[in-house]
Structure 1
Amino acid sequence: MEIINRSVQFFEKYDSAILGYVIHFGLAIVIFIVGRFIAMFISSQLRRILNAKNVEPTIIKFTSSTSRYIIMGLTLVAVLGQLGVQTSSIVAIIGAAGLAIGLALQGSLSNFAAGVLLILFRPFKVGELVIVSNIRGTVDAIQIFSTTILTPTGEAVTIPNSHVLATSIINFTRQPNRRIDLTIGIDYKADIKEVYQILQSAVERTPNVMKDLGIIIRLDELATSSINFLVMVWTDNDNYGPVRTLVLENIKNDLDHNNINIPFPTMDINIR
């Protein structure tokens, strides 16, 4: 009976304080649940949006996880504040730690920021033929901190994303069509009109040449040992290599058939 009386007296004396603690604890739980829901929702929405844009799986996972951790970190700070913990010192420690980490990882952070910009603006995608930092090849992977280019000779070149963004990027695959530019050197003894006809015929009978986009053949230069003709034709990107090879083969065969030489470089030497 005495224990009950003491309990009643205790609750009568501290009922407001206990009620306050219970309310704060309940609000802290609500804040944690709501914050966790928001973190999961935003993370899943980011994953869905990036998947729809065909972003690399590694980047999708990193971005969604980072957003979830940031929101959960802010949620825990709010929970501690609701429980009466002084959060100003915690925020100051986190800020100081973030500054120290940022100074130590300046290069990595610049590569990360460049990677984010590459994802947003997408100057190239995996599988496209590009020239980046004077490296020509096919994009093999776009990662968080670097981009990997696979060269025609089979080398995998890894370039930091900050270097990728700082240099000019030539993308050969982005447009559906591509122009073939050829310079054909002809002997000075050849008849120019006949050469025009031969080149025109050789180009026109080549498969997959887009005649509707125009065929340009013109005399471009009177060089040291040859008359140089410029041949410009269009084809679709997928057939660029084979069409270029066929055009060259047809031109060479037709010139040989008409006894028109492609001269070697020559030099006249006078000896006294």
Structure 2
Amino acid sequence: METENIEQQAIAFLDKYDNIIVSYALNILFAIIIFIIGRFVAGFASRFLKRLLLRRQVEPTLISFSVTLSRYAIIAFTLIAVLGQLGVQTASIVAVVGAAGLAIGLALQGSLSNFAAGVLLIIFRPFKSGELIDIGIIGTVQTIQIFSTTLSTPDGKIAVIPNSKVVAGNIINYSRDPNRRIDLIIGVEYNASLELVKDVLLKAIHKTDNIQMDRAVTIRLDELASSSLNFVVQVWVLNDNYGSVRAQLLENIKTELDNHNIGIPYPTMELNFSSVDNGNMQHVSGNPTTVAADPNIN
């Protein structure tokens, strides 16, 4: 008897709400279909965009950013369409999301500034992965992400710098030009012959490998310093050879200066002081390299 009552109540409920149930079921079904199609379109569009950008040899960081942005944009529109199919007022959702976004934006101003800076770096590309740059830290660019840039420093450290700091400071790119100039300041003693010094420096340059002799080589007296004649030496090399050529050139310059008995002065200090002995003033002068204080002198 109770079973029959339950069946009758169920039949009556279905008769009364069958249209509503069917409508909701269809809406849920269509929402699932929309979501599946949206996911498929997002994946297809991201793969298509990636292949297109790769064929055009776009910088890898820009490819990653564009693919990720397009994928999540399509998914976001898909979710809005799914909610609309389920009968949710999307206009109110957009308003709520906008208000929430404003609140989150105020709370995450630093992150948003990093995001905006990351977009600028990706669009204008003052540097790219694999290039040697100086942004307050010298290193090779590993990755340029939305919020930060990662560098590998010459001493093997990994530096992660917020993009807002990268954009706010000076950016020196050592790799964009395939050639780089070596600038040296060489100080010699005052009694050295100017022409001899120039000949010796030029000889050292000729003995150094991988210097671009077809480009301007500069050797000139630049300064009459307090203890030395300072010569400027400027030569051009390939970027990849900069460190090794610079080291070899310095060694060759030192060797050639020694071979021609041209000294390299170093800072000295001359002291002149007076002492009183039995009422007589005595003047003493000297040129010590180290002066130690007498603990008995008050």
Q: Which TM-score tier does this pair reach, normalised by the shorter chain?
A: 0.7 to 0.9
> Structure 1's 50 and 113: CA in aligned 2 closer, same or farther, altered over 3 A?
farther
Q: TM-score, normalised by structure 2?
A: 0.73
- How far the C-alpha of 1:228 sits from its partner, in A, is 0.6
> Structure 1's 183 and 145: CA in aligned 2 closer, same or farther, altered over 3 A?
same
More helix by share: 1
Greater shift in the superposed pair: 198-207 or 222-231: 198-207
- Give, as a single letter, the amino acid of the residue that structure 2 aligns with 1:151: T
- Give the % identical residues: 59
Counterparts of residues 173-252 of structure 1 (less than 5 Å): 173-252=175-254
> Structure 1's 69 and 185: CA in aligned 2 closer, same or farther, altered over 3 A?
closer
CA–CA distance in structure 1, aligned partners of residues 51 and 115 of structure 2: 21
CA contact (8 A) 1:209 1:243 kept: yes
Q: Does 1:67 align with 2:70?
A: yes
Q: Secondary structure, in 3 states, of the residue corresponding to 2:236?
A: strand
- Counterpart pick for 1:115 among 109, 115, 118: 118
Q: Please name the residue that 2:289 is paired with.
A: none
Residues 129-167 of structure 1 deviation map (CA, whole Å, 9 limit, x = unaligned): 2111x2122223323321222222333222111111111
CA–CA distance in structure 2, aligned partners of residues 42 and 175 of structure 1: 36
Q: Secondary structure, in 3 states, of the residue corresponding to 1:212?
A: coil
CA–CA distance in structure 2, aligned partners of residues 199 and 122 of structure 1: 40
Q: Secondary structure, in 3 states, of the residue corresponding to 2:257?
A: helix
Unpaired stretches in structure 1, ≥5 consecutive residues: 1-9
Residues 173-205 of structure 1 deviation map (CA, whole Å, 9 limit, x = unaligned): 111010001111111111111111111111122
Counterparts of residues 1-272 of structure 1 (less than 5 Å): 38-49=41-52, 51=54, 52-56=57-61, 60=64, 64-78=67-81, 80-81=83-84, 85-132=88-135, 134-271=136-273, 272=283
Q: Secondary structure, in 3 states, of the residue corresponding to 1:213?
A: coil
Q: TM-score, normalised by structure 1?
A: 0.79
CA–CA distance in structure 2, aligned partners of residues 259 and 66 of structure 1: 66
Structure with larger Rg: 2
- Give, as a single letter, the amino acid of the residue that structure 1 aligns with 2:192: A
Greater shift in the superposed pair: 110-119 or 63-72: 63-72
Q: Secondary structure, in 3 states, of the residue corresponding to 2:271?
A: coil
Q: CA RMSD in A?
A: 3.4
Size of the aligned set, in residue pairs, is: 256
CA–CA distance in structure 1, aligned partners of residues 147 and 271 of structure 2: 58
Greater shift in the superposed pair: 135-144 or 238-247: 135-144
